[in-house]
Amino acid sequence: MIEPIKIVVPGLVASFAKKVRTWHAADGRSGTGAYNAAPYAKWKDYARMCAAHAVGERIPFQDAVAVEIDIFKDIPSAFSNKKRALALQGLLRPITTRTSTTI
Domain ranges of the chain: 18-72
Residues 85, 21 contacting (CB under 8 angstroms): no
Looking at residue 102, what is its pLDDT? 46
Look at residue 31 and give its three-state secondary structure.
Answer: strand
Residue 29, amino acid = R
pLDDT in tens, 64-83: 888 887 777 778 888 899 99
Euclidean distance between CA atoms 43 and 10, whole angstroms: 10
pLDDT band, very low/low/confident/very high, at 48 (cuts 50, 70, 90): very high
Of 15-19, 49-53, 93-97, which gets the smallest average pLDDT?
93-97
Looking at residue 103, what is its pLDDT? 43
pLDDT in tens, 13-35: 888 888 899 989 999 999 999 98
